[in-house]
Structure 1
């Protein structure tokens, strides 16, 4: 009985992680394509690090990635 609850919890955590990661990557893509100017150097790359950050932290993680990128160009 307890093992089934644990599997459901782990499955739920994994699904939430991938949902946050996919939403975060879509948000990064939309911001890079339509919000920022074409010649901007503030673009965040679509890579495994941004996938893990947006999956772990969600939308605040995406904001963090843009904050770090903005801070680097100062």
Structure 2
């Protein structure tokens, strides 16, 4: 079991970093198009993308787009 924990932590950080990169680039793309729907880059988005991965990032954008409507 001790061999499994570093793998889980590494996987979490990789997913979180990729999720934050996706948020950064999607925010940049939406801003360049003049669309006011950006997700904040903070601890909540880091945890969401780390735990849920790309579907978590999509969930964050879904929440923001729901608020815009």
TM-score (norm 1): 0.86
Segments of structure 1 that go 5 or more residues without pairing to the other structure are 1-5
Q: Which has the larger radius of gyration?
A: 1
How far does the alpha carbon of each residue in 1:28-49 deviate from its partner, in whole angstroms, 9 at most, with x for none?
A: 0010112x13442210010000
DSSP 3-state at the match of 2:31: coil
Select the residue among 9, 24, 31 that pairs with 1:29: 24
What is the aligned partner in structure 2 of residue 43 from structure 1? Answer: 38
Select the residue among 49, 55, 63 that pairs with 1:60: 55
Segments of structure 2 that go 5 or more residues without pairing to the other structure are none
Matched length: 68
Structure 1 runs of 4+ with >4 Å offset: none
TM-score (norm 2): 0.92
